[in-house]
Amino acid sequence: MKKHNFSAGPSILPQEVLKKASEAIIDFNGLGLSLIEISHRSKDFIAVMDKAQALVKELLELPEGYSVLFLQGGASTEFLMAPYNLLKEGGKAAYLDTGSWSSKAIKEAKNFGETIVVASSKDKGYSYIPKGYTVPTDADYIHFTSNNTIFGTQLKEFPGGDVLKVVDMSSDIFSRKLDFTQFDVVYAGAQKNMGPSGATLVIVKDEVFGKSGRVVPSMLDYAVHAKAGSMFNTPPVFPVYVSMLTLEWLKSNGGIEAIEKTNIEKASLLYDEIDNNPSFLGFAAKEDRSNMNVTFTLTDESLKDKFDALALAAGISGINGHRSVGGYRASIYNAMPIESIQVLVNVMKELNK
């Protein structure tokens, strides 16, 4: 039976990417060797790294002056790398608190100095995005999470002002057209719209290198990785390769503009059902709804067993809500076909019959 994979991450990847990745494990580029048993300094792998970086720049329309890095450690390591690289001794960091991941980032920043929360939506269970807050002009940077995977909210506008912008874009990068020149550091764990877990995309404006003035350990220093072309040490070869394949897939399918159109269509299909079906209730404030993670609950909890059984029978996988929220979460990343969302919508309609 065909599975419909709504997993929040690691999550669905394009079938053709999986096929190519599987083949490269046996024989890469006709070398007679596996992708994962050749030197990362070989010309075949250097070509992979170069192409992955070039595709990021092309798809996101990054101008000169930005470095593209494929690091390890996930967004969680960026929670500490951001202050290590940007927060001066005696300086001040500003954070927008929109959920669990923001909170974790704030916790790590506090180890490095004064950390101000400019606004938080914790008062209503992170079901909305705060607006109308002020960013202190003397902050070393403002940090925000563009999409909140757990709560299903998404920033439609970003903080402005003359302060460095650091954004955790783990769960919606490559999903919508944005002006990346407004950001100074963008980071994203690979395992949503890019590839398997184990690689972390970091985009850094070269102007910010050394901003904190701290002695930064080599592996935590953006400048060190940028100077080495993201090959300061052995990179995570397989996750980088699969990321490259996914970015090729995205480009061949029309790039960001095309995928954004599809993503809006996909999300609307599901949100419309939630809003029109009396058995379901959306979790996030309507104006802040995420086009990547759709969170909802049953209006009548006694229907849970029936809904779960219908979903299982339809081949639907991974729609349980995060343990901290409960309910349901349908993650509908770039690689999710609209047909799978239609299957879920049909099950929701079926429940209400």
Interface with a second copy (CB under 8 A): 1-3, 5, 7-13, 18-19, 21-23, 25-26, 31-34, 36-40, 72-77, 79-80, 104, 107-108, 111, 189, 191, 195-199, 215, 217-220, 232-239, 242, 315, 317-318
Q: Which residues contact 78 (CB under 8 A, 6 or more apart)?
A: 168, 187, 200, 202
Q: Using CA of residue 312, residue 313, residue 316, residue 321, what is the dihedral sign?
A: negative
Task: Decide if 140 contacts 207 (C-beta within 8 A).
Answer: no
Nearer to a second copy among residue 44 and residue 350 (C-beta): 44
Q: How far apart are CA 318 and CA 8, in angstroms?
A: 7
78 or 288: whose CB is closer to a second copy?
A: 78
Quick one: 242 or 351, whose CB is closer to a second copy? 242
Are 123 and 254 within 8 A, CB to CB?
no
Of the pair 1, 132, the CB lying nearest a second copy is at 1
Report the nearest approach of a second copy to the CB of residue 79 (Å).
Answer: 7
Q: Give min distance, CB of 170 to a second copy, in A.
A: 10
Which of the following is catalytic: 97, 140, 168, 184? 168
Which member of 192, 205, 211, 266 is catalytic?
Answer: 192
Q: Which two tokens stand for residue 298?
A: 């049953």
Q: How far is the CB of 2 from a second copy (least distance, A)?
A: 7
**101 among known catalytic residues:** yes
Return d(Cα 324, Cα 251) in angstroms, integer: 36
- Secondary structure of the chain: what % helix, strand, coil (to 5)? 40, 20, 40
Q: How far apart are CA 68 and CA 247, in angstroms?
A: 14
For the bound state, the minimum distance from the C-beta of residue 110 to a second copy, rounded and expressed in Å, comes to: 9
Q: How far apart are CA 326 and CA 329, in angstroms?
A: 9
End-to-end CA gap in the chain:
24
Helix or strand or coil: residue 5? strand
Cα dihedral sign, 71-72-77-79: positive
- State the minimum distance, in angstroms, from the CB of residue 312 to a second copy: 13
**Rounded distance, CA 223 to CA 210, Å?**
7
Catalytic residue selected from 101, 165, 205, 266: 101
C-beta of 123 vs 339, nearer to a second copy: 339
> Which CB, 71 or 351, lies closer to a second copy?
71
Residue 192 or 205 having the CB closest to a second copy: 192
Give me the DSSP letters along 74-137.
Answer: HHHHHHHHHHHHH--TT-EEEEEE-SHHHHHHHHHHHTTSEEEEEEE-GGGTT-S---S----T
What is the C-alpha separation between 273 and 276, in angstroms, rounded?
5
Give min distance, CB of 121 to a second copy, in A: 23
3-state secondary structure of 258: helix
Least distance from a second copy to the Cβ atom of residue 25, Å = 4
Instruction: Give the active site residues.
Output: 101, 168, 192
